[in-house]
A and B are shown apart, each in its own frame.
Chain A
């Protein structure tokens, strides 16, 4: 039935789209064809082993952190009843609004040798430095903690949606067979939610691999810091791109893992989407559950936000002058435009793969999704080079043929920037959409098609209504990511165009953390509103399934 032997408009269209979106990543990989220079020999002899080990440890740590926080809270909020559950179900998403490098700055400010906590300890006990043990924030474990605090919401979001969409039937069957809450969780609910959990985890890990701000500030040598050191320090862009290509190898493994976990079986759930009766946690157990939800919220959001607010108050940063409003407008417009554009692309690609699951299609879509794990700067260079080449070629042609200069048509425009966002964040949208589509039985498509519907009609009439929550999730994730995005914005933006993230970076990289707090707080605040609105909408879809 589903053979991809003859080319179809879907196949060709998606293939071409994937190729264009994969272009920046391919530009990076193309550097592998260059001979490995002596910089490589130097790297291999000195620091390469550190890069690999630290990157792996960082990933392992963040995996443990995000899984434990994300799955626990998702299960509690979706399946149990305890004090504060209604608030936690959206508040647990708030750390998403907090850029990782900002949370790193705030915790360093709090916990460093010169920070208020250690000063209090020294003054309170009359100690001086060296008399007592205190964990060093700026370390590998510190980086793991920071990234876990802000990335667990990916796991939480997807796991919670999966728990909510699980039919009550399976769980109730388990209960009638005598399985308690714990056994039901480990033997039924968690295995059923596994694809969603792994999707969330792979998003968190890809973001971890791409992180530069946190690891650089903490002095942890990873692949990302190595890429920049090689490029900026040695001035060797080729060796830096080759390092980036090796990084892509890691990412490809992640993607294969994610695919593999999903392909083990098709996870469709039948029957009415009725929410299982929640486990009522009373007394101490209820408070323990509330505490388990409060901890990640406090660590990932309340504490750093309070520190930012304190700094902003201290420096008297004016939050709402005209310039600030312009920054806010730029940030919001970019984020909304990018989120919707990326959702469209993801829908087309996910749907193309569903219609024509050929090996070529899989490869094309996978490569197009690689951008999420590539540091933004590398993507930006990958966008800049082909765009500038195209602009200059068109200009050369116009000069020769028409005697006029077209100049740079695409380079240095917002289009180039939005394109970079699409490359960088497609995976977020794509994985969310595919996870959502995957939960809809293929037999539904077949039934609709046999009733004479065209593929896009099936998408509109059958899939879109069933995926309301999924689509919102995809939009939300990209929106918040773009709001926080820094490196690509910094390199590709047009003249006289700044965003909140650029402003924060400029002040923070000048070591004016307190001055940066105003803009940082604004990113967080701008991120909160859509996070809350959308998570409420998602919550409503959850409740609707429940009735």
Chain B
């Protein structure tokens, strides 16, 4: 029995030493990130190699990380918050866990609509959410914009994932910003009537369902299709090749985009190193990596895109200030609940 008491103790000690064994060198930055480790670690390692500043990372879900920042308060060890969605950055700012950063480098690299007016957060990469159509069943001339998705002509021919998903919430939030609650509600109602099936799965699943014949139009982010087209799985590749992108509302407001971004925490203890890392993330080298590594568009104008992204073509992006997406997120969810978008 005594062994039973001692074992957990000694095991947790082992774990504790395993974690603290990597002692802090001269400079370090602590990062909370809702970008997945694979999609940020290579950049952070590059930064460490160049500057000698060590980067400590915890990944997780945006809202949980914001909650962690809020409850840890002024003692939080985190210096930077990286998220995959502008709405969440706005939420973090509203919760008071971010502070403004004054950096000419950041201001010069990032267009104004992709950063916070008070400099609490900065966009790092762009994600577009266009319409995808099945090439041999749909004539793209029949399409003009998002409004088509709600047109009865496409009854039971549209695939889209659940409204639990932040991409859909942001898309509807943007619509509310442009057309008001009533216009957006009418669109959502029409779209729900056009669902080919109950929303389930992720963005890739919508593409695959369309390729298999379950629907003609799908809504999905560009980087999923990019990854499918270049990935190892032949089935995914074949599915993605059956579809083509349609950039909606190019004469009007432009395609819905969102950013992944970064903010300096109010509690930051390594401010200089943290700002240095932020500036590194908008360097040409880092910006190119977003496209190469994950088929996202660089926020910095003039940075070249990779071949797959170029094959989708250039497009006009919605110029709506990103903070709006966060402000209207709740309204968007309510709207989708009422329309019965599961």
A264 at the interface (CB under 8 A from B): no
User: In the complex, are the beta carbons of A314 and B36 less than 8 A apart?
Assistant: no
Selecting from B60-68, B281-289, B301-309, the interface stretch reads: B60-68
Whether, in the assembled complex, B91 has its beta carbon less than 8 Å from a beta carbon of chain A, the answer is yes
A13 close to chain B: CB less than 8 A: no
- Is there contact, CB below 8 Å, between B338 and A46? yes
Residues 225-255 of chain B, each 1 if its beta carbon lies under 8 Å from chain A, else 0? 0010001110100010000000000000000
Query: A118-B212, A219-B162, A314-B233 known; A233 and B333 CB under 8 Å?
Result: yes
B200 within 8 A of A: yes
Q: Is residue A407 contacting chain B, with contact meaning CB distance below 8 A?
A: yes
B204 within 8 A of A: yes
| CB proximity of B59 to chain A, nearest CB, Å | 7
Other contacts beyond A129-B212, A340-B11, A380-B64: 18, CB < 8 A: A47-B337, A114-B205, A114-B209, A114-B211, A233-B333, A234-B329, A234-B333, A235-B330, A315-B233, A330-B18, A344-B5, A344-B8, A384-B68, A491-B68, A495-B57, A506-B36, A507-B38, A512-B227
Residues of B within 8 A of A (CB): 1, 4-5, 7-8, 11-12, 14-16, 18-19, 22, 30, 36-39, 56-65, 67-68, 71-77, 91, 162, 164, 166, 169, 197-205, 208-209, 211-214, 224, 227, 231-233, 235, 239, 329-330, 332-334, 337-338, 342
Listed by A's residue number, 17 A-B pairs whose Cβ atoms lie within 8 Å are A112-B208, A114-B239, A119-B212, A232-B61, A233-B329, A233-B330, A336-B7, A343-B4, A381-B64, A388-B72, A407-B75, A408-B76, A411-B75, A413-B16, A460-B1, A464-B1, A507-B38
Task: Name the residue in A113, A122, A221, A491 with the highest tally of chain B Cβ atoms < 10 Å from its Cβ.
Answer: A113
By the criterion CB–CB under 8 Å, are A385 and B71 in contact? yes
A391 to chain B: which residues have CB within 8 Å? 72, 75
Complex CA–CA separation, A495 to B20 (angstroms): 10
- In Å, the complex CA distance between A380 and B63 comes to 13
The answer to whether B61 and A490 have CB atoms under 8 Å apart is: yes
B169 adjacent to A233 (CB under 8 Å): yes
Q: Say yes or no: A414 contacts B235, CB within 8 Å.
A: no
Binding site for B on A (CB under 8 A): 42, 46-47, 108, 112-114, 116, 118-119, 122, 128-130, 136, 138-139, 216-219, 221, 225, 228-229, 231-237, 314-316, 329-330, 333-334, 336-338, 340-341, 343-344, 377, 380-381, 384-385, 388-389, 391-392, 395, 405, 407-408, 411-415, 418, 460, 464, 490-491, 493-498, 502-503, 506-507, 509-512, 514
Flag if B200 contacts A113 (CB, 8 Å): no
Q: Are B71 and A138 in contact (CB under 8 A)?
A: no
Q: How far is the CA of A494 from the CA of B257 in the complex (A)?
A: 33
Task: Please give the distance in Å from A258's CB to the nearest CB on chain B.
Answer: 26
Determine the residue in chain B with the shortest Cβ distance to A412.
Answer: B77
Q: Please provide the 7 A-B residue pairs with the shortest distance between their CB atoms, ordered closest to farther.
A: A114-B208, A219-B200, A129-B213, A233-B333, A495-B56, A138-B200, A388-B71
Summarize A's interface: helix, strand, loop or mixed: helix
Alpha-carbon distance A119/B213, docked complex (angstroms):
11
* A138-B201, A344-B8, A384-B71 given; A229·B213 CB < 8 A: no
The answer to whether A494 touches B58 (Cβ under 8 A) is yes
Write the nearest CB–CB distance from B185 to chain A, whole angstroms.
13
List A contacts of B39 (CB < 8 A): 510
Q: With a CB–CB cut-off of 8 A, which chain A residues contact B4?
A: 340, 343-344
The closest CB in chain B to the CB of A45 belongs to B338
Q: Determine the distance from Cα of A113 to Cα of B342 in the docked complex, in whole angstroms.
A: 20
Chain B residues within 8 Å of A377, by CB: 61, 64
Residue of B whose beta carbon sits closest to that of A340: B8
Contacts of B8 in A (CB 8 A): 337-338, 340-341, 344
A130 and B213 contact, Cβ closer than 8 Å, known pairs A333-B15, A337-B12: yes
Q: Distance in Å from the Cβ of B235 to the closest Cβ of chain A?
A: 7
User: How many inter-chain residue pairs (CB < 8 Å) link A and B?
Assistant: 195
CB within 8 Å for A219 and B214 given contacts A315-B233, A388-B71, A496-B56: no
| Chain B positions within 8 Å of A219 at CB level | 162, 198-201, 342
Residues of A within 8 A of B211 (CB): 114
Residues of A within 8 A of B202 (CB): 511
Please, how many angstroms separate the alpha-carbon atoms of A234 and B227 in the complex?
Answer: 31
Inter-chain contacts of A128 with B (CB < 8 A): 213
Residue in B12, B166, B200 whose beta carbon sits within 8 Å of that of A218 in the complex: B200
| Cβ A392 vs Cβ B61 within 8 A | no
Residues of B contacting A514 with CB < 8 Å? 231-233
Are A509's CB and B164's CB within 8 A? Answer: no
Return B55 CB to nearest CB of chain A, in Å: 9
The 8 Å CB contact of B12, one of A112, A385, A389, A415, is: A415
A344–B208 Cα distance when bound, in Å, is 49
Q: Which of B7, B38, B75, B235 has the most CB of A within 10 A?
A: B75
A315-B233, A377-B64 are known contacts. Are A414 and B169 too (CB-CB below 8 A)? no
How far apart are A478's CB and chain B's nearest CB, in angstroms?
11
Q: How far is the CB of B145 from chain A (nearest CB, A)?
A: 25
Q: Using CB atoms, name the residue of chain B closest to A128.
A: B213
Q: Are the CB atoms of B203 and A511 closer together than 8 Å?
A: yes
Least Cβ–Cβ distance between B192 and chain A, in angstroms: 13
In the complex formed, the residue of B with least CB distance to A394 is B75
- State in angstroms the CA–CA spacing of A113 and B215 once bound together: 11
Nearest A residue (CB) for B70: A388
**A129 CA to B209 CA, complexed, in Å:** 10
CB distance from B6 to the nearest CB of A (A): 9
| A384: nearest chain-B partner, CB-CB | B71
Contact A414 B59 (CB under 8 A): no
CA distance A19 to B58 in the complex (A): 30
Q: Name, among A47, A122, A229, the residue most crowded by chain B CB atoms within 10 Å (CB to CB).
A: A229
For B68, what are the chain A residues with a Cβ–Cβ distance below 8 Å?
384, 412, 491
Query: Which of A114, A234, A507 has the most CB atoms of chain B within a 10 A radius of its CB?
Result: A114
Question: Which residues on B sit within 8 Å (CB–CB) of A380?
Answer: 64
A526 to chain B, nearest CB (A): 16
Q: A114-B239, A235-B91, A237-B67 are in contact. Are A414 and B57 (CB under 8 A)?
A: no
Q: How far apart are the CA atoms of A116 and B99 in the complex, in Å?
A: 51
CB distance from B234 to the nearest CB of A (A): 9
Q: How far is the CB of B87 from chain A (nearest CB, A)?
A: 9
Knowing A42-B337, A113-B208, A234-B330, say if A337 contacts B235 (CB, 8 Å).
no
Residue in A closest to B65 when the chains form the complex, CB atoms: A491
| B contact residues around A334 at 8 Å (CB) | 15
Set of chain B residues within 8 Å of A415, measured between Cβ atoms? 12
Closest A residue, CB atoms, query B209: A113
A225 pairs with B164, CB closer than 8 A: yes
CA distance A391 to B75 in the complex (A): 9
**Taking CB as reference atom, which chain B residue is nearest A338?**
B8
Chain A residues whose C-beta falls within 8 Å of the C-beta of B65 in the assembled complex: 491
Do A113 and B198 have beta carbons less than 8 Å apart?
Answer: no
| Residue of chain B at shortest CB distance from A38 | B334
Closest to A489 in B: B60
Interchain CB contact under 8 A, A221 and B342: yes
Q: Which residues of A contact B227 (CB under 8 A)?
A: 512
Assembled-state Cα–Cα distance A233/B169 (Å): 8
Q: For the complex formed, measure the closest distance between the CB of A312 and the CB atoms of chain B, giving whole angstroms.
A: 11
Given the contacts A108-B201, A237-B67, A490-B64, A337 and B232 also touching, CB distance less than 8 Å: no
**Nearest-Cβ distance from residue A536 to partner chain B, whole angstroms:** 20
